[in-house]
Structure 1
Amino acid sequence: MNYMFKPTTEQEKILHRAAVGESFKVMAYAGTGKTSTLGLISKTLAAKSRKGTYLAFNKSIADEAAKKFDSSVDARTFHSLAFRQTERSLTEKLKLPRIRDNDLATHYGLIAFEAEIDPTMRVGDSKKTKYIFDIDLFRLVKKAVSYYCSTHAKQLKVTHFQFPDWMSENSKKALGETLLPIAHQYWHDQLNPNSQFPITHEIYLKKWAIQRPQIRTDYIMFDEAQDADPLMLGVLLEQKNTQVIYVGDAYQQIYDWRGAVNAMIQLNIPAERLTQSFRFGHAIADNANLYLNMLGESVPLVGTESINSRVLHMRSESFDPDAILCRTNRGAIEALMNRLKLGDNRTYGLVANSEEYIKLIEAGKLLKEGRTPNHPAFMGFTSWHDVKEYTESDKSDFELAGLVRLEEKFGFYELEKVIKQSIQAKNPQCVISTAHKSKGLEWNKVDFHDDFELKLTPDRTFNEMLNTVKRSDGIEAMYDNKPQMTQMEDSELRLLYVAVTRSKVAMNNMALKDIANRASQLKQKIN
């Protein structure tokens, strides 16, 4: 890419710091020219005969980045670095045929475990225990090994197990002690080049990371650093003699639920900012600032003067969007079904975890028909009635609660048919997407489903949250005026920030009106 434009003042500061050779981070708000800034960094350092490595999370991003840098930059993923330095006897095991979970459960001698249900989750005289069958026990082992692979931990421990919420603490402890030796054996069986156990890419990546590898390059540019998992961040922190430039948006960290760590906040290193968004104008930027302010950020996102963007408040039927964003998979499916029920004849494309949701629907359908599904979400349930009873007593299981709601409203067969049709839609006139899936994308006109919310902890009111605002004299510091929020509240606000920064021309704020009003109240209190 030929970077012929004049750098902004913010970009000039970043280029100066890059030239000095120290590690630092670049806080880049939504649409602020992050890619072009990385290109300018590489051009500046190439003039000093320095060669760099650009690291991304997935191959498609790395391949796209490779087209934008000259030959002085090697664009790669962590996996490709690990693959190059791993013996072929191990990576060849990627080609081995998959072994079924039930066969592995038999191989390791697993038998059903009777787990005690946490007393706080029992309803009336309901059952006090549930059986976890051998295949589900092995899936707990497999999931523990997978989680271990995403961490910087050197040893696999019982803390890597993720047991169902309904289990009592005593049962979790007992089951952990039983399964940990099996998890260790499963890990070593996969690493054994002479065994017939197939591996996934995370296995050789973890093995590589444990060896504390040094990346041979003059500097590293790590993109989307706010979503780094502990393993990736740990590898980069081991690069003692290499400049590492972390680039990302702390407020677009929306994968903390899967173990991501926010390097943009956690790393105590020099920082620069990109605050001028070239995606939208002042109206959308001002709206996004409501959420940044609520997150405690004092440095605003700035829109482009020449873009006449609008924030509208109207009924969705009178707004013709290019995309409808939803908080959950259930919300995306519900938005799709509602549009079709209204007789809308536009073509819609569904961008959600559609394939996984179809598997969930098929499993629920089997259970409702009296058969036993082979799906981890239904572990321990013997009937559809049990599932409905469970979701009524435990409001925290959003996946099953959402499925129950959709089934009652539309039925399993209609849901499955419509979702499959939307997946196959080519060049849809409108995209219906979860906010998570919308990250990195943009559309001219964006609408929102009504499933967004600012969740507060039980027995806590919004006014009580307003009264926890911290005060600070540090104008540049992140989180200066941050209310004392829970992780849940923080996560919801970051997801909202991602959602409201996807539109370029117009966004319909009707479904977010109440949340935006709350954000405005907080801004007034802080100011």
Structure 2
Amino acid sequence: MHAPTEEQAAFRRAAVELLEAPRGVIKSTAGAGCGKTTALKGAALDCRKAGASRLLVLAFSKNLVTDLQATFGDVAAVRTFNSLAFEWARNSITGRNVGQIYAAHVIEAFDLNSKKLPIDHVHFAKVIIGVLSNYCYSSNREISRHHIPSWVQDPVVGDLAAKYAQVLFNALRPGAKTRLNLPHDVYVKAWQLDGCNGLSAFDQVYMDEANDATDVMLSCLAFARRACYVGDAGQQIFSFRGSKDAMLKVPGRQYPLTLSFRFGPQIANLANEILSKKTTPPPITLRGMAGKAGRIGPVPSKEPHTRLFRTNTGVIRDALVLGDMAESYAITGDTSDIREKIYSTYALMRNSSREARHPAYAFFKTHDDLAQWAASNPLSEIGLIYDLARDYSERERDLDKILSNRHPPNNPRIQLMTCIRAKGREFNNVVVRDDFRTRSTSGFRPPSPTQLDDELNLLYVAVTRARYCVELQPEF
């Protein structure tokens, strides 16, 4: 490891000092490329030298676990919240599949078709799922009106759905006798309610990317004796999943990291400019490495680069064009889910509802049903997919071939991925495509400050993936 900066050294010393306290929290607000993981590993190494034997790093996904485990080696265990909770739940879920539930499952479980409801049974089932999701992301012990989605206007519908959601949670949680899938969020919530068995056994717990922690995750971490949070408020891009910036919510001594090792001053200045437009700009100013190459402008036409998109449909549209041009490209990430959704869309366009296999399409019986819903929800994933399928109505086989992704080139000149897939990664040259929604140039103006903040965070993540060159196509 390189010698730590003064900022990193201060954080590492604080982590060692924390071992002397019975309980406590320290935090490090860090910019993109500022060595968050390096600081965490340094803290873990220093704590091991100081006598700590059980250290835990918490990551958000299996992919990040693999990367972080390679970094930390045997210094610390690397786990996800899901894996810890699933280990606790494993013995009580024999015979059940783990996976998402949809409106069709809820309708069948409660036999909603036979009940008199204030709204149609499909929409009521979706309200129930919305209440359940909000509850599972929360730190609360019981479901209440607080968990009713904001888009539910009728209080009678909301109150009734909350009662159904409580019954549904009890029927889904580990140990329940049911054939229904066990959603990941449900067993994590059940683990939290049970006291997060195992967390208090660690001498210190490190939370990487704490900017994306949900309230239930923060509640789980309260069971750890000592915790170190590291995160970047500008990279909070999972608010749609209930994430809350732990750097703002959790009290603790603050140790900022502001010097980015990834890029030079030009890219750092662009990142700061993007975040300055948020309703609450971050408390730190990102600094680029002096003398390090980096620029804002067009990527040379033949130069290898990564294209970042806000949406999966943006990725697919570019893939079609690049394929037609016989360009060398590859899509990064699992495309099986969106492939099934596109197949279901084409099936409904042929009015073959039986072939629309994706559960999200279960209640569209005809092309007209889908078209009307897409017209009312044009910015939803289903709405965007419908527009894609309509624009390429004669190219279903081409889309299926693209999304099958069976034989990607070994060294493609162009990588295509969503911004969410790119989080935590870095590339030499980045082209930020124009499907971001920060201004009306993309046909959309976020109607609220919160939504605008979310869009600016996405754009910040995209531009800060680059080491050398950023081509920024959306205006902001």
Range of TM-score over shorter length = 0.7 to 0.9
2:288 corresponding residue in structure 1: 303
1:401 corresponding residue in structure 2: 383
Amino acid at match of 1:383: T
**Correspondent of 1:360 among 341, 356, 362:** 341
- Helix, strand or coil: the match of 1:23? strand
Q: What CA distance in whole angstroms lies between the structure 2 residues aligned with 1:349 and 1:33?
A: 29
Change (3 A) 1:249 1:102: closer
Change (3 A) 1:306 1:79: same
Unaligned stretches of 5+ residues in structure 2: 19-23
Change (3 A) 1:339 1:14: same
Pairwise CA distance, 1:353: 6.3
**Correspondent of 2:15 among 13, 18, 33:** 18
Amino acid at match of 1:437: R
Amino acid at match of 1:58: S
CA RMSD of aligned residues (A): 3.5
- Helix, strand or coil: the match of 1:506? strand
2:40 corresponding residue in structure 1: 38
Amino acid at match of 1:149: C
Pairwise CA distance, 1:299: 3.5
**Correspondent of 2:428 among 429, 444, 447:** 444
1:519 corresponding residue in structure 2: none
CA contact (8 A) 2:329 2:415 kept: yes
2:6 corresponding residue in structure 1: 9
What is the aligned length? 458
The TM-score normalised by the length of structure 2 is 0.84
Amino acid at match of 1:442: E
Q: What CA distance in whole angstroms lies between the structure 2 residues aligned with 1:222 and 1:78?
A: 10
Amino acid at match of 1:401: G
1:221 corresponding residue in structure 2: 206
Quick check: 1:503 aligned with 2:446?
no
- Helix, strand or coil: the match of 2:7? helix
Change (3 A) 1:452 1:364: same
Pairwise CA distance, 1:387: 3.8
Q: What CA distance in whole angstroms lies between the structure 2 residues aligned with 1:96 and 1:35?
A: 31
CA contact (8 A) 1:354 1:419 kept: no
Q: What CA distance in whole angstroms lies between the structure 1 residues aligned with 2:274 and 2:173?
A: 46
**Correspondent of 2:392 among 410, 427, 442:** 410
Quick check: 1:348 aligned with 2:329?
yes
**Correspondent of 2:94 among 87, 92, 95:** 92
Change (3 A) 1:244 1:102: closer
CA contact (8 A) 2:430 2:466 kept: yes
Pairwise CA distance, 1:174: 4.3
Change (3 A) 1:268 1:194: closer
Quick check: 1:255 aligned with 2:238?
yes
Larger Rg: 1
Change (3 A) 1:435 1:383: same
Pairwise CA distance, 1:253: 0.4
**Correspondent of 2:172 among 180, 186, 190:** 190
Unaligned stretches of 5+ residues in structure 1: 117-129, 466-484, 516-527
Pairwise CA distance, 1:194: 6.8
The TM-score normalised by the length of structure 1 is 0.76
Change (3 A) 1:501 1:82: same
CA contact (8 A) 1:94 1:201 kept: no
Aligned residue runs from structure 1 range 412-491, under 5 A = 413-414=396-397, 416-422=399-405, 424-427=407-410, 428-455=412-439, 486-491=449-454
Q: What CA distance in whole angstroms lies between the structure 1 residues aligned with 2:101 and 2:211?
A: 35
Describe the superposition over 1:170-217 as per-residue Cα deviations: whole angstroms up to 9, x where unpaired.
Answer: 3xx444455444433333333474724353444332222112345222
CA contact (8 A) 1:329 1:353 kept: no
Q: What CA distance in whole angstroms lies between the structure 2 residues aligned with 1:437 and 1:451?
A: 15
1:206 corresponding residue in structure 2: 189
Change (3 A) 1:285 1:104: closer
Quick check: 1:69 aligned with 2:78?
no
Amino acid at match of 1:302: R
Amino acid at match of 1:361: I
Pairwise CA distance, 1:385: 3.6
- Helix, strand or coil: the match of 1:169? coil
Change (3 A) 1:461 1:336: closer
Amino acid at match of 1:399: E
Amino acid at match of 1:349: A
Amino acid at match of 1:151: S
Quick check: 1:235 aligned with 2:220?
yes
Change (3 A) 1:111 1:207: same
Pairwise CA distance, 1:501: 0.8
CA contact (8 A) 1:131 1:380 kept: no
Q: What CA distance in whole angstroms lies between the structure 1 residues aligned with 2:292 and 2:174?
A: 58
